Amino acid sequence: MSSVNDIRRTYVDYFANQGHHIVPSAPLVPENDPTLMFTNSGMVQFKNLFTGVEKRSYTRAVSAQKCVRAGGKHNDLDNVGMTARHLTFFEMLGNFSFGDYFKEQAITMAWDLITNVLEIPAEKLLVTVYHEDDEAFDLWKKIANLPDERIIRIATDDNFWSAGDTGPCGPSSEIFFDYGDHIWGGPPGSPEEDGDRFIEIWNLVFTQFDQKGDGKRLILPNPCVDTGMGLERISALLQGTNNVFETDMFKTLVDASAQVTGSITNEDNIVSQRVIADHLRTMSFLIAEGVLPSNEGRGYVLRRIMRRAMRHATLLGRNEPAIYKMLPVLIQEMGQAYPELVHGEAMIGETIRLEEGRFLKTLSRGLQILNDTSANLNAGDQLDGQTAFKLYDTYGFPLDLTEDALRTREISVDHAGFDSAMQAQKAAARASWRGSGATADESIWFGVSENMSPSEFLGYDRQKSEGEVLALVKDGVEVKRLGVGETGFVVLNQTPFYAQSGGQVGDIGTLTGENVAAKITDTQKRPGGLIAHAIEITSGELVLGVGVELEVDDRNRSAIRANHSATHLLHEALRQVLGEHVAQKGSLVSADRLRFDFSHNKPLSAEEIVQIEALANGIVLQNGPVETRLMGVDEARAAGAMALFGEKYGEEVRVVSMGTSKNDDGTDRHYSMELCGGTHAKRTGDIGLIRIVSESSVASGVRRIEALSGSGARAYLTIQDEQLKSVASVLKSTTSDALFRVQSLLDERKSLERQ
């Protein structure tokens, strides 16, 4: 028996030996397709190669791609644990040709790998082809020596792939394994095809046409091959089972779920244990990429997955956090292939544990209120929408959890009433805001936000992404397009641009598309969680609904990150030198400088400034990692994290830690630990250098320092050095003697004045 890890390695090595370039798995959050919530197949990262938009140094590739299908169009969430094949997270093995080889070589390699390398009996295999694809039919007969009855023609789009109504498309050929007549089911195309006897193990897509809007299909000059083989499915087959949860990896994870929940593995518990095992993989990989549980977008899907697993843990009798304890087992199984799990272990574990604790409190409180409010309802009744909304809005009890809890009693929820209550709350918020004295033009954003979800920020881990244009605003009015020379704001579904908050300025950069180029000159937060990009169109035209490429100005962002991390180090240095009464009273973090206001009742002496700089630069020289963790507010404060002045925090916060220092008892601790949602350097060494350039008073009991870091600090010191050299030249002395020479001249002047 081959392990899952061995099978993955065998597949990749086989195609590498056939001249394929090994391409690492792309992120689960797609970098080149803003319409997808998660990467759901191996071809996603190669989309632009298939369309010809992008060129790379290789024309054939192989990959093991991590995929998630748990939201949007591709959603397997509710089937997980109930069937032998459905998963929310899976790995897709694939080999690809970009205008290199085509059908004959693709079929030859597939048949060789399956029958000779993996040693799957040829008599157990059958294939399907698109009913018009005579070429593929003949090739299967020639290469695999399959009889006509085991090459099934399919006339539906099950065997014809297309990216949309127009564009690249082509027929596909699927390979099926016959598990035997002791399992119910029929071959593909038969009335019993949904059974478990014949299971698809590999799909070969032959992209050979360009579909035009007038219905014509033109032949592509460079046809491509895109294949996909589910690692879990092929592993189940090779390990003698038709159930993915009985593979070696899942057996280990299911055993771990039983252990941490204190449950036995039997017919009553196995579904819950399998749900936990599958969902642990999904939540861990998403958190490793920076997706955090929230009430919107990808974060909401993650939260649903996490809370579904946690609900199953409670069904197994566990009423305290437990799933996070399975993380070391997952890392042992998958950490070698996916090192991001190893690097993110602390962040992943704390995020899961935090969500488990919050969920258990929400579940206990929400169920009690729900039971009280629904006590008089019977099977077939409906819980009113106002009550469901109150549970959601006041007590944090999600609508789907309310529905899940009532489903066993055959009670439904009034969705229309829930939506009505949601709209009433938004209207009240809008009315309250209009009375706040803000400008009338800004009221447009409430109307914009009602029609879309909050923008998703991707910029903690990346500075490039694609996004879909959802709204355009010019002079306080929504518009459908912006032309050359026009300025306005653009809102996208996702963005790597940081919106100004917490003292950190908004990002700048560029937006480009098929027919447009623009400068992004600022990024701001707007009502409803929207991120608005101030934009100036430099060529073409920007219209609603198009996909565009976004790129943050790297030099500007790097300087901002360095200055923001420097601010944290200076904050702690001020506390150590001046005393713990020092508290932040305001800040500005931009690319060219940083400003920090703090409580202190007298000017800083030159000696104190030297001490503060020395402490902060000492941590810079440690070149330690800047760590970010997700924690509860109370837990973060109990751990010693400082909250920043004027910031409002939700139940969960990002805690940024950097540097190593000593406690009074000699044990190590983080030098700086603060609650912060901004972007930061990856290591303290990236800051380069910190230099305080001024210190002043801004109010009674409040002082201000301004400082520079990195190249700005070095440029400042260079100018200072040049000025000192100029002074020394005028004095006809060396720089080291300049101060003595000036003092001598002043003494001589005083003496002459007295005379």
The CATH architecture one would assign to domain 563-716 is: 2-Layer Sandwich (3.30)
pLDDT at residue 48, rounded to an integer = 79
Going by C-alpha positions, the residue among 363, 403, 364, 407 that lies closest to residue 387 is: 403
d(CA 445, CA 470): 13
Whether pLDDT at 384 is above 80: yes
d(CA 670, CA 657): 6
Helix (H, G, I), strand (E, B) or coil at 124: helix
Q: Which residues of 627-653 are buried (b: 16+ CB within 10 A; e: fewer)?
A: ebbbbbbebbbeeebbbbeeeeeeebb
Between CA 519 and CA 526, with CA 523 as vertex, the angle to 5 degrees is 135
What's at 39, amino acid-wise? T
pLDDT at residue 651, rounded to an integer = 64
pLDDT at residue 375, rounded to an integer = 86
β-bridge pairing 494-495 and 487-492: unpaired
What's at 140, amino acid-wise? W
Q: pLDDT, tens digit, for every residue of 60-85?
A: 999 999 999 875 554 556 677 667 77
pLDDT at residue 436, rounded to an integer = 40
Helix (H, G, I), strand (E, B) or coil at 450: helix
Q: Evaluate whether 472 touches 478 at the Cβ level (below 8 Å).
A: yes
Q: In sequence order, what E strands does 545-681 have? A: 547-552, 584-589, 594-599, 627-632, 652-662, 668-675
- Average pLDDT of 125-153? 95
Question: What does the block give as tokens for 439?
Answer: 């400008």
Helix (H, G, I), strand (E, B) or coil at 570: helix
pLDDT at residue 35, rounded to an integer = 76
d(CA 595, CA 455): 29
Q: What is the dihedral of CA 20, 24, 30, 32, to 10 degrees?
A: -50
**What CA–CA distances, in Å, run from 99 to 94, 102, 523, 550?**
16, 8, 41, 28
β-bridge pairing 21-22 and 60-68: parallel
- Average pLDDT of 21-35? 87
Whether pLDDT at 151 is above 90: yes
What's at 426, amino acid-wise? K
Question: What does the block give as tokens for 195?
Answer: 């059974």
d(CA 4, CA 230): 11
Q: pLDDT, tens digit, for every residue of 232-290?
A: 999 999 999 989 999 999 999 999 999 999 999 998 899 999 999 999 999 999 999 88
- Average pLDDT of 711-726? 92
Q: Evaluate whether 306 touches 295 at the Cβ level (below 8 Å).
A: no
Q: Which residue has the tokens 């090739």?
A: 139
Q: What percent of the chain has pLDDT over 70?
A: 95
d(CA 93, CA 23): 11
d(CA 299, CA 396): 15
Residue 418 backbone class (left: φ over 0; alpha: ψ -120 to 50; beta: rest)? alpha
Kindly report the average pLDDT of the chain as a whole number: 89
- Average pLDDT of 488-514? 94
Inter-axis angle of helices 134-144 and 103-112, nearest 10: 40
DSSP string, 285-354: HHHHTT----SSHHHHHHHHHHHHHHHHHHHTT--S--GGGGHHHHHHHHTTT-THHHHTHHHHHHHHHH
Question: What does the block give as tokens for 533?
Answer: 């990009």
Q: pLDDT, tens digit, for every residue of 597-627?
A: 999 999 999 999 999 999 999 999 999 999 8
pLDDT at residue 435, rounded to an integer = 43
Whether pLDDT at 27 is above 80: yes
pLDDT at residue 529, rounded to an integer = 85
d(CA 448, CA 473): 9
DSSP string, 371-411: HHHTTT--TT-EE-HHHHHHHHHHH---HHHHHHHHHTTT-
Whether pLDDT at 709 is above 90: yes
Query: Residue 517 contacts by C-beta under 8 Å, 6 or more apart in sequence?
Result: 510, 511, 537, 538, 539, 540
Query: Residue 671 contacts by C-beta under 8 Å, 6 or more apart in sequence?
Result: 569, 572, 619, 658, 659, 660, 661
Q: Which residue has the tokens 């991120």?
A: 531
d(CA 470, CA 482): 13
pLDDT at residue 231, rounded to an integer = 97
pLDDT at residue 665, rounded to an integer = 81
Backbone angles phi, psi at 624, to 5 degrees: -80, 165
* Fold (CATH) for 4-246: BirA Bifunctional Protein; domain 2 (3.30.930)
Least confident of 27-41, 195-209, 271-285: 27-41
HEC sequence for 23-43: CCCCCCCCCCCCCCCCCCCCC
pLDDT at residue 400, rounded to an integer = 75
pLDDT at residue 72, rounded to an integer = 52
Whether pLDDT at 440 is above 50: no
What's at 195, amino acid-wise? G
Q: In sequence order, what E strands does 112-211 have? A: 125-130, 151-154, 160-162, 167-178, 198-211
pLDDT band at 399 (very low <50, low <70, confident <90, very high): confident
d(CA 446, CA 528): 7
pLDDT at residue 437, rounded to an integer = 41
d(CA 100, CA 56): 13
CATH class of the domain at 459-552 = mainly beta
pLDDT at residue 59, rounded to an integer = 93
**Bridge partners (DSSP) listed for residue 89:** 68
Backbone angles phi, psi at 463, to 5 degrees: -120, 5
Inter-axis angle of helices 399-407 and 297-315, nearest 10: 30
d(CA 695, CA 677): 26
d(CA 755, CA 748): 11
d(CA 32, CA 39): 10
pLDDT at residue 71, rounded to an integer = 59
Question: What does the block give as tokens for 335?
Answer: 């950490």
Backbone angles phi, psi at 352, to 5 degrees: -65, -45
DSSP string, 713-750: HHHHHHHHHHHHHHHHHHHTS-GGGHHHHHHHHHHHHH
Give the neighbor-by-neighbor strand order of the sheet with 627-632.
627-632, 652-662, 668-675
- Average pLDDT of 120-142? 95
pLDDT at residue 490, rounded to an integer = 95
Which is higher by pLDDT, 42 or 431? 42
User: At 477, which helix (H) or strand (E)?
Assistant: strand 477-479
pLDDT at residue 429, rounded to an integer = 62
Least confident of 180-194, 288-302, 703-717: 288-302
